[in-house]
């Protein structure tokens, strides 16, 4: 026998109030109800395992209360964690999130966009893939609400929330310079995406301001589609070149993961032979024999802000554009500090 769905009326009868009052509370309009009564109604709804009737709610409002989230690479812990933050935050506003991964592919991103549009999502949060500008222009022309997360296209005026990638790379390079490393390489994606170009620009600027001319061979660009083998080639070129580097910055977590595997294969000692700093935070950086210094992006703030911005747009379609930059923070670990400095500071060698 099918269990009877708990209704607003059931909650109202148990609370001794009207169904209208219950509706106000459960539809996040608690300002119309006293605090104690709102808490009582919420508690009773939870006790009765009340679940909103989304179909009826959608028919009344014209909304599906779903958000489409397109991320770049679900295998990357940064994006997997951001997806969780977005999902949890959206739930607070009564929204469900449908997630898709573009695998850094513009065509796949377009396919996901269309699938989600067919599912009648109310809006999108998108981590853009390279060459996906047309997707964004399409959404703008159709007046479909969206917020770009982590990446944006400067030439297209959109709402976005992202990290200050220039400053993050600048700080990482400066950190290595201050620890005595002057020959510093950068391994980045072979990409024209703005966030990647900003990471390269910050690296170059920090070297230039320290009166070190950035050498062309110190910057190695790796295609996402052939990352594993090309990272190996990049590391070989950096450490075996005519002027070998003494430190490397990995511009993404994926590059770092493949790079650290190969560094181990070659028995390159960190930081004795090669200092390392990477973007992204993940458990692997703690588990490595030499804890890896990394650039911590404000993951939780990025995800929460993106949801808040989108919900605000859904509720107020005519509100002005919002563009938010957040600061990353360098977390210094043993991988970027010379062993003699670690010993002097009482750090483990």
pLDDT in tens, 270-306: 999 999 999 987 788 888 889 999 999 999 999 999 9
Residue with tokens 């909103």: 52
Q: Which class would CATH give 165-298+331-344?
A: alpha beta
What is the structure's pLDDT at 48? 85
Supply the CATH classification number for the domain 64-162+300-326: 3.40.50.2300
Structure tokens, 251: 């511009």
Neighbours of 208 (CB within 10 A): 11
Structure tokens, 39: 């808490």
Residue with tokens 């573009």: 102
Residue with tokens 């957040």: 326
What is the structure's pLDDT at 41? 85
- The DSSP secondary-structure symbol of 272 reads T
Structure tokens, 271: 């930081």
Extract the runs of DSSP E, i.e. beta strands, from 39-172.
66-71, 96-101, 123-126, 146-149, 160-163
| Separation CA 97–CA 90 (nearest Å) | 7
What is the structure's pLDDT at 345? 58
Q: List strands edge to edge, sheet with 275-279.
A: 219-222, 184-189, 247-250, 275-279, 293-296, 329-331
* Phi then psi dihedrals of residue 194, to 5 deg: -60, -40
Pairing of strands 247-250, 275-279: parallel
Stretches in the chain below the pLDDT threshold 70: 1-4, 28-32, 52-62, 339-349
């Amino acid at each position: 026998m099918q269990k009877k769905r708990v209704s607003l009326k059931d909650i109202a009868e148990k609370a001794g109030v009207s169904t209208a009052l219950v509706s106000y509370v459960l539809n996040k309009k608690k300002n119309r109800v006293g605090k104690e009564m709102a808490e009582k109604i919420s508690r009773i709804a939870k006790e009765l395992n009340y679940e909103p009737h989304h179909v009826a709610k959608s028919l009344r409002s014209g909304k599906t209360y779903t958000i489409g989230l397109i991320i770049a690479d679900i295998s990357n812990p940064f994006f997997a964690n951001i997806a969780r933050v977005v999902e949890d935050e959206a739930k607070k506003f009564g929204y469900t999130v449908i997630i898709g991964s573009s695998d850094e592919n513009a065509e796949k991103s377009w396919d996901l966009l269309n699938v989600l549009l067919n599912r009648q999502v109310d809006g999108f949060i998108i981590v853009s893939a390279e060459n996906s500008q047309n997707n964004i222009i399409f959404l703008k022309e159709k007046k479909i609400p969206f917020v770009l997360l982590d990446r944006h296209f400067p030439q297209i005026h959109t709402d976005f929330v992202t990290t200050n990638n220039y400053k993050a790379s600048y700080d990482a390079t400066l950190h290595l310079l201050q620890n005595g490393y002057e020959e510093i390489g950068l391994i980045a994606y072979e990409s024209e995406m703005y966030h990647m170009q900003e990471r390269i620009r910050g690296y170059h600027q920090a070297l230039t301001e320290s009166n070190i001319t950035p050498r062309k061979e110190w910057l190695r660009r790796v295609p996402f589609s052939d990352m594993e083998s090309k990272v190996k080639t990049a590391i070989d070129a950096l450490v075996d070149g005519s002027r070998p580097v003494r430190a490397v910055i990995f511009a993404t977590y994926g590059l770092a993961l493949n790079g650290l595997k190969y560094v181990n294969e070659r028995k390159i000692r960190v930081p004795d032979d090669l200092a390392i700093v990477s973007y992204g935070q993940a458990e692997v950086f703690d588990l490595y024999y030499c804890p890896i210094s990394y650039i911590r992006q404000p993951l939780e703030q990025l995800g929460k802000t993106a949801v808040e911005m989108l919900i605000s747009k859904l509720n107020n379609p005519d509100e002005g554009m919002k563009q938010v930059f957040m600061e990353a923070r360098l977390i210094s670990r043993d991988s970027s500090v010379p062993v003699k400095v670690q010993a002097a500071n009482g750090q483990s060698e």
